[in-house]
Structure 1
Amino acid sequence: MSTESASYRARFSDRASRIRSQFEFLAQDRLALTGMIVLGVFVFLGLFGPLLAPHDPIVSDVHTKSGEIMRLQPPNAAAPFGTTEFGKDVLSQFLAGARPTFIVGLIGGVGTGALGFLIGLVSGYYGGWVDEFLMRLTDLTFSLPFMPMALLLLTFVTPSIWLITAIIVLFLWKMPARVVRAEVLSVREQTFVRSARASGAGHLRTMFVHVAPNVLPIGFLYVAYGVAWAIASQASLAFLGFGDPTSTSWGRMLRMVFESGTIRIAWWWVIPPAVGIAAVTTAVFLIGRAYEEVINPEIQSNK
């Protein structure tokens, strides 16, 4: 029992060390560090934003001291981010809208990167009919454009955060799968992989213990890109009117200001969600850029 416990602690320590090394690696790049800070703020808002909102973003109205509803008012003491045409607090909508955006971005991005990584890993490692089947499936996914297919699917069902996330993962895993497969095809021919197989290691152990760690930076890269893709896709769907009607998101805020016809006037209503989406997607791409420099040394040499 003590041996098993020691082995478990050793594995846990090794995983923690790998995660810590990733953060240390990102902290060495100023742009990536900036991206991590912005992403950290986004995560905080995603977790606690609705709790920090001073008003209910859907039900509550902002009133003047005389009791009148403050409609389309620029930033003021009562509403630091201004109000909407219906007198709703833009700050409260912004804080509450961070959570749906965070959920779709995190789960959609991680799901996209993880699914693409696994499919590319299995396809590249096994080759043969497994590779043929998975790559034809990938080709089929490439032939189906995301936005028209997403709009088609959401036309027949009531949109929800979880359904939108599932659609994003379903259609956006194709790119990481292709790239990971190409890298695995090279790694599997290395001497250490052949030695592992010759020493009696099974396919699963060889694939996940010896091959996967060597293509893991690509996985991290596409998880980072996947978060940005997921957030942008969710915002686009919400802006087109196919977002979750039961929740406030940054994309839905842009949709509401567009529908109100005040998009050229109510700048205080447009800027918070637009800047939020732009800041998070840019931060994620800065982090992804750091990993891309590891994968592609030519980028580093051209600096």
Structure 2
Amino acid sequence: MSTDTTNGAVIFERIDTWRTVLKEQFDFIRRDNLALAGVLIVATFILLGVFGPMLAPHDPIEHDMKTEDGSIMRLSSPNAKAPLGTTAYGKDILSQFLAGARPTLIVGLFGGLGTGAIGFLVGLVSGYYGGGVDEVLMRLTDLTFSLPFMPMALLLLTFVTPNIWLITLIIAGFLWKMPARVVRSEVLSVRQRTFVKSARASGASNLRTMFFHVAPNVLPIGFLYTAYGVAWSIAAQASLAFLGFGDPTMTSWGRMLRMVFDSGNIRIAWWWVFPPALGIAAITTSVFLIGRAYEEVINPEIEIE
């Protein structure tokens, strides 16, 4: 058999391994009604993030909602012209809500993926190699644990102009520590199993053994903490925006809450508060429902009513 044929067979074997693992995850999600509901909410959120600004009936910042006589509709409750009402500045809340889904999606998706990916890789490498590699990576993880996220994020954003990608990077750079710890603990157990030792004995390289024998067996933990990472990222972004450290060029759900707070109408204009608050609550709850399903598999002793 030629070298090219052998390499092709190995590549297809690797693809099939990961394809099988991913198919098992999707089949698993379909069997849990709450997790499936969470996936549907996340899918809706993604669609809003992609198409929301295009669906917005008005410019969320520039357009002023006006009455028939030409006066600005300030703090108008939901009506036919403004289905979700207007802000104290006469802006359409529906348009702001739809436009605000995109930055929330960007931070949630890429912050969650970054958190899950960095934590998974650090935990995988640390647990598999052990020794000096483990020592260095775990001390770095300990350092990250010692730095509180919110004060450090506020400190970093004080000296630069916040933008959506910088905020995402800061979030992923601080939140990967928990998945790294958990994945490492699981890898320490998996690497002692017979099939891993057999792979090493058959001459498989460390990278091949780590990614195609160990990694698929801890992948559910990666999915779990990626889901949690999405929720953490959205909550962190909303908190930073509410504190005035969000991207000033973009409307986000956290910034909407900041605006209603600054206007002094947070106890009055419920129609201004509820859309972004419910949006944040719905998406964070949905990803936790997905994570809940994985947690039952990872730890079968957990009994969830």
Q: TM-score range by the shorter chain?
A: over 0.9
Aligned mates of 1:110, 1:249 — CA distance in 2: 20
- 3-state SS of the aligned residue for 2:234? helix
Is 1:30 the counterpart of 2:33 in the alignment? yes
- State the AA in 1 paired with 2:183: V
Further displaced range: 275-284 or 26-35: 26-35
Is 1:212 the counterpart of 2:205 in the alignment? no
Residue 275 (structure 1) aligned to one of 269, 278, 286:
278
Is 1:137 the counterpart of 2:101 in the alignment? no
Aligned mates of 1:202, 1:13 — CA distance in 2: 19
Distance 1:77 1:219, change over 3 A: same
- State the AA in 2 paired with 1:47: V
Distance 1:3 1:61, change over 3 A: farther
Is 1:83 the counterpart of 2:78 in the alignment? no
TM-score normalized with structure 2 length: 0.95
Distance 1:228 1:269, change over 3 A: same
What residue in structure 2 maps to residue 126 of structure 1? 129
Distance 1:206 1:8, change over 3 A: closer
Aligned mates of 1:275, 1:195 — CA distance in 2: 51
Distance 1:118 1:288, change over 3 A: same
- 3-state SS of the aligned residue for 1:297? coil
What residue in structure 1 maps to residue 224 of structure 2? 221
Question: Matched residues, percent identical?
Answer: 74
Aligned mates of 1:268, 1:66 — CA distance in 2: 23
Shift of 1:65: 1.8
Aligned mates of 1:217, 1:15 — CA distance in 2: 12
Residues 97-246 of structure 1: pairs in structure 2 closer than 5 A = 97-246=100-249
- State the AA in 1 paired with 2:277: A
> Unaligned regions of 5+ residues in structure 1, if any?
none
Aligned mates of 2:185, 2:168 — CA distance in 1: 27
Aligned mates of 2:196, 2:10 — CA distance in 1: 24
- 3-state SS of the aligned residue for 2:301? helix
TM-score normalized with structure 1 length: 0.96
What residue in structure 2 maps to residue 292 of structure 1? 295
Aligned mates of 1:112, 1:189 — CA distance in 2: 27
Equivalent pairs counted in the alignment come to 302
- State the AA in 1 paired with 2:53: P
Aligned mates of 2:9, 2:298 — CA distance in 1: 34
Aligned mates of 2:160, 2:50 — CA distance in 1: 28
- Provide, for residues 14-42 of structure 1, a one-character-per-residue CA deviation record: whole Å limited to 9, x for no partner: 54443333222111111111111111110
- Provide, for residues 136-181 of structure 1, a one-character-per-residue CA deviation record: whole Å limited to 9, x for no partner: 0000000000000000000000000000000001100000000000
> Unaligned regions of 5+ residues in structure 2, if any?
none
Aligned mates of 1:134, 1:6 — CA distance in 2: 34
Distance 1:181 1:279, change over 3 A: same
Aligned mates of 1:201, 1:30 — CA distance in 2: 40
Aligned mates of 1:92, 1:102 — CA distance in 2: 16
- State the AA in 1 paired with 2:72: I
Distance 1:204 1:16, change over 3 A: closer
Aligned mates of 1:65, 1:2 — CA distance in 2: 74
Aligned mates of 2:13, 2:295 — CA distance in 1: 30
- State the AA in 2 paired with 1:217: P
Contact persistence 2:17–2:212 (CA under 8 A): no
What residue in structure 2 maps to residue 254 of structure 1? 257
Distance 1:54 1:2, change over 3 A: farther
Shift of 1:191: 1.1
Distance 1:3 1:188, change over 3 A: closer
- 3-state SS of the aligned residue for 1:59? coil
What residue in structure 1 maps to residue 21 of structure 2? 18
CA RMSD in angstroms, aligned pairs only: 1.7
